[in-house]
C-alpha cells in the first residue's frame, strides 16, 4: 500500500503566489518574515527570476545563504545572476530600504544549510532569531557600523559581503567564478568579495593574481597551498602578509629546482617567513613535504607572533638543530595538537622530545609520532614526559620499531592518563621475522593477548589498536584488536 502525504498549506500558498508574480512582488513589504525562506526556495525551484530579484531587495535577514540552494542539477549562474541583478537595483539607489537587512551573500555550498531546513517543517521563534543575527558566530572581519537606532529611516548602503570558498585548481577560473568576479569588479566599492578559505593547487601565481586582487584578503582565515615551487611561494608571500586574520596555514609538497643557489634559496625563504610577522592570529600550521625546512625551522618559528595550538610537520627532513629549536620555541607552550609523522628521528637525541613534551604537557591533547623511527632507548627516555601529558586524548605511534617490554611500559604510562581515549601502536619487534618483517602469527597472537591483559589490569580494555608495518606485497596496513587480522597476502612464517 502506497502512503501519500497531502501538500502542506504553506506549499500550496507559495505555488499560488508564484502563479501571480506581479502580485507577490508587490506584496513583499507586507509578507511575514517567516514566509520569506520557503517562498524563496519555491521561487528557485520554479526558476522565477523576477521574484528572486525582488526578494533579494526585501530580504529581512542579515545573511542570505544562497550557496546552500545551488544544487548540481540547477544552473548556478542563473540563480546567482538573478540575485546580483536584484542587488544592482539597490546599489544603484545608494540607500537602504526600510526592511532590508542583508549584509552577507553567502555562496558557500556546505554552510548554513540548517537555515533552509528549518523551513521544510516547523520552526521556533528562538531559531528564527538566531538566524537573523549570524554575526555572533562569524569569523573576524572589518565591518562598518551602521546606526539603526532610528528605525524606519533610510540609511546609506554599507558594502555587502559576498562570501565564497575560493578553490583555485585550474589554470583559468571557471565560468561561475569569472561571472562573479566581473560583477564584483563593476561594483567594487559596494560589493566586497570575501573568502574564509583559499585553496591553491599547482596553479601558476600569474594565473590567479587578478583574482586575488579582487578578494578582501583581510577576511581570509585559512590558506591551503599544494605543489608549488619555493620561488612561487616567495612571490605569493606579499599576498599572505595581507591576510592579517589568517589562523590556519597549510603548505604541502613545496619543492625547489635543483639548480637554485644557496643565496637565492635563503632570500626566498626570508621573503616567506618575514610575512609571518604580520599574522597575529596564526594558530595552526601544517607543513607536509616542505623541502626548505631542513636547517631552517628556527627561521620559521621565530617569526611567529602568537602561541600555536596546532603544529604538524610531516614527511619533512629535519636536522637535530631544527628539533632543538622546536623544543625551545616560545610559541609551543600552548600546543594542543602536535604531529611529527614521517619525520626521521632515528639516532637523534631524545632530549629535545623530553623538553618539548614537558613544555606542552599541560595543554597537549593529540600527539602523532607515527613513522618517526623511534627506538627502544629513545622511547624509554621520553616515557616520563609522556606520562605528564595530563590532557592527552589520542596518541599515534605506529611504524616505530620497539620491543614488547618497552611497548608494555608505554601502555602503563599512557593508558592511566585521565583523558586518554585512543591509541595506535606498533606490533612488537618480536612478532616479525626476516628482512621484510613478515608477521609470525603465533607470536603476534601471544603478544596481543598479553597487551590486552595489561589494558584490563589498568581498567581500560578498549582504547588501543596495534598496527604492523605495511604489507610488502600490497601496501595494506592492518589494525589488530583482540585477535590478529591478516592481510590477504599473508603467508605463514
Residue 166 lies in a domain: no
3 state DSSP class of 76: helix
Identify the CA nearest to 398 among candidates 350, 316, 342, 457.
Answer: 342
Name residue, grid cell 501571480.
20
Which of 120, 144, 174 terminates a domain? The answer is 120
Kindly report the length of the chain: 493
Distance between CA atoms of 212 and 205, rounded to whole angstroms? 10
Q: Determine the Cα–Cα distance for residues 33 and 13; give it in Å rounded to an integer.
A: 15
The per-residue pLDDT for 163 is: 95
pLDDT the model gives residue 75? 59
The pLDDT profile of the chain, 493 residues, written as one tens digit per residue, is 455 565 565 665 666 566 677 877 888 888 888 888 888 888 888 888 888 999 898 898 899 999 888 864 455 778 888 899 988 887 777 666 666 788 899 999 888 777 887 755 544 444 444 444 444 334 444 444 444 444 444 555 678 899 999 999 887 788 888 889 998 988 888 899 999 999 999 999 999 999 999 999 999 999 999 999 999 999 999 999 999 999 999 999 999 987 889 899 999 999 999 999 999 999 999 999 999 999 999 999 999 988 999 999 999 999 999 999 999 998 889 999 999 999 999 989 999 999 999 999 999 999 999 999 999 999 999 999 999 999 999 999 999 999 999 999 999 999 999 999 999 999 898 887 755 567 777 888 888 889 888 888 888 766 788 887 666 566 666 666 666 666 666 555 4
Domain coverage including residue 48: 9-120
Among the listed residues 316, 249, 318, 240, the one whose alpha carbon sits nearest the alpha carbon of residue 285: 249
CA–CA separation, 482 vs 7, rounded Å? 54
Looking at the domain assignment, is residue 105 inside a domain?
yes
Q: Is 152 left (phi over 0), alpha (psi -120 to 50) or beta?
A: left
Q: State the distance between the two ends of the chain, measured CA to CA, in whole angstroms.
A: 60
Within 27-181, strands assigned E span: 63-64, 104-106, 160-168
Write the pLDDT tens digit of every residue in 375-421.
Answer: 999 999 999 999 999 999 999 999 999 999 999 999 999 999 999 99
Cell of 203: 596553479
* Domain total of the chain: 2
Q: Are 388 and 357 in contact, with CB atoms under 8 Å apart?
A: yes
pLDDT at 118: 73
- Contact in structure between 50 and 22 (CB atoms under 8 Å): no
CATH of the domain at 459: 3.80.10.10
Residue 78 in grid coordinates? 542563473
- For residues 210 and 219, the answer to whether their CB atoms sit within 8 Å is no
User: Is the model's pTM score more than 0.75?
Assistant: yes
pLDDT of residue 342: 96
CA angle, residues 393, 430, 446, in degrees to nearest 5: 75
| CB of 19 closer than 8 Å to CB of 3 | no
Task: Provide CB contacts within 8 A for 231, sequence distance 6+.
Answer: 256, 257, 260, 268
Q: Is residue 375 part of a domain?
A: yes
pLDDT at 152: 46
Work out whether strand 438-439 and strand 432-433 pair parallel, antiparallel, or are unpaired.
Answer: antiparallel
CA 11, 14, 17: angle at the middle one, nearest 5? Answer: 150
Last-in-domain residue among 79, 100, 120: 120
413: left (phi over 0), alpha (psi -120 to 50) or beta: alpha
Task: Read off φ and ψ for residue 375, nearest 5 degrees.
Answer: -100, 175
User: Is 168 part of a structural domain of the chain?
Assistant: no
Q: For residue 33, what pLDDT is reported?
A: 84
Environment class of 296 (CB within 10 Å of its CB; exposed 0-12, middle 13-18, buried 19+): buried
Q: Helix (H, G, I), strand (E, B), or coil: what is residue 479? A: strand
Flag whether 388 is in a domain: yes
358 domain-assigned: yes
In this prediction, residue 340 carries a pLDDT of: 97
CB atoms within 10 A of CB 216: 18
Strands 63-64 and 104-106: parallel
Of the three residues 120, 147, 181, the one that is the final residue of a domain is: 120
In a domain, 183, yes or no: no
In SS3 terms, 206-242 reads as HHCHHHHHHECHHHCCEEEEECCEHHHHHHHHHHHHC
What phi and psi, each to the nearest 5 degrees, are found at residue 308?
A: -90, 145
In a domain, 229, yes or no: no
Amino acid at each position: 500500500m502506497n502512503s501519500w502525504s497531502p501538500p502542506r498549506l504553506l506549499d500550496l500558498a507559495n505555488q499560488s503566489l508564484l502563479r501571480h508574480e506581479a502580485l507577490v512582488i508587490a506584496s513583499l513589504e507586507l509578507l511575514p518574515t517567516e514566509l520569506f525562506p520557503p517562498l524563496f526556495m519555491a521561487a528557485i525551484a520554479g526558476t522565477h527570476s523576477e521574484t528572486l530579484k525582488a526578494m533579494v531587495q526585501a530580504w529581512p535577514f542579515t545573511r542570505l545563504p544562497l550557496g546552500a540552494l545551488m544544487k548540481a542539477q540547477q544552473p548556478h549562474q542563473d540563480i546567482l545572476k538573478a540575485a546580483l541583478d536584484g542587488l544592482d537595483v539597490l546599489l544603484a539607489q545608494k540607500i537602504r530600504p526600510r526592511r532590508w537587512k542583508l549584509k552577507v551573500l553567502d555562496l558557500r555550498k556546505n554552510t548554513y544549510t540548517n537555515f533552509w531546513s528549518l523551513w521544510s517543517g516547523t520552526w521556533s521563534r528562538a531559531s528564527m532569531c538566531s538566524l537573523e543575527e549570524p554575526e555572533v558566530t562569524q569569523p573576524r572581519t572589518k565591518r562598518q557600523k551602521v546606526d539603526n537606532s532610528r528605525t524606519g529611516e533610510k540609511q546609506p548602503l554599507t558594502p555587502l559581503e559576498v562570501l565564497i570558498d575560493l578553490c583555485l585548481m585550474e589554470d583559468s577560473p571557471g565560468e561561475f567564478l569569472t561571472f562573479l568576479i566581473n560583477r564584483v569588479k563593476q561594483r567594487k566599492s559596494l560589493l566586497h568579495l570575501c573568502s574564509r578559505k583559499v585553496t591553491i593547487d599547482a596553479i601558476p601565481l600569474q594565473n590567479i593574481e587578478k583574482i586575488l586582487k579582487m578578494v578582501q584578503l583581510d577576511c581570509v582565515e585559512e590558506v591551503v597551498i599544494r605543489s608549488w615551487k619555493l620561488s612561487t611561494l616567495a612571490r605569493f608571500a606579499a599576498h599572505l602578509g595581507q591576510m592579517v586574520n589568517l589562523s590556519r596555514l597549510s603548505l604541502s609538497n613545496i619543492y625547489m629546482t635543483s639548480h637554485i643557489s644557496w643565496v637565492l634559496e635563503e632570500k626566498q625563504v626570508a621573503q616567506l617567513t618575514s610575512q609571518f610577522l604580520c599574522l597575529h592570529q596564526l594558530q595552526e600550521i601544517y607543513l607536509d613535504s616542505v623541502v626548505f625546512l631542513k636547517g631552517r625551522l628556527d627561521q620559521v618559528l621565530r617569526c611567529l607572533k602568537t602561541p600555536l595550538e596546532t603544529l604538524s610537520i610531516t614527511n619533512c627532513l629535519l636536522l637535530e638543530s631544527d628539533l632543538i629549536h622546536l623544543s625551545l620555541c616560545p610559541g609551543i607552550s600552548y600546543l594542543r595538537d602536535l604531529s611529527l609523522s614521517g619525520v626521521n628521528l632515528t639516532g637523534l637525541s631524545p632530549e629535545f622530545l623530553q623538553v618539548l613534551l614537558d613544555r606542552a604537557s599541560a595543554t597537549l591533547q593529540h600527539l602523532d609520532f607515527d613513522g618517526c623511527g623511534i627506538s627502544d632507548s629513545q622511547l624509554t627516555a621520553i616515557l616520563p614526559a609522556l606520562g605528564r601529558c595530563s590532557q592527552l586524548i589520542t596518541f599515534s605511534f605506529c611504524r616505530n620499531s620497539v620491543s614488547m617490554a618497552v611497548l608494555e611500559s608505554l601502555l602503563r604510562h599512557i593508558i592511566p592518563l585521565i583523558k586518554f581515549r585512543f591509541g595506535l601502536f606498533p606490533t612488537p619487534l618480536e612478532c616479525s621475522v626476516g628482512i621484510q618483517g613478515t608477521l609470525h602469527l603465533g607470536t603476534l597472537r601471544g603478544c596481543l593477548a598479553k597487551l590486552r591483559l595489561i589494558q584490563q589490569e589498568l581498567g581500560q580494555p578498549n582504547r588501543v589498536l596495534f598496527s604492523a608495518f605495511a604489507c610488502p606485497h600490497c601496501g595494506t596496513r592492518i589494525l589488530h584488536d583482540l585477535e590478529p587480522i591478516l592481510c590477504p597476502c599473508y603467508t605463514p612464517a
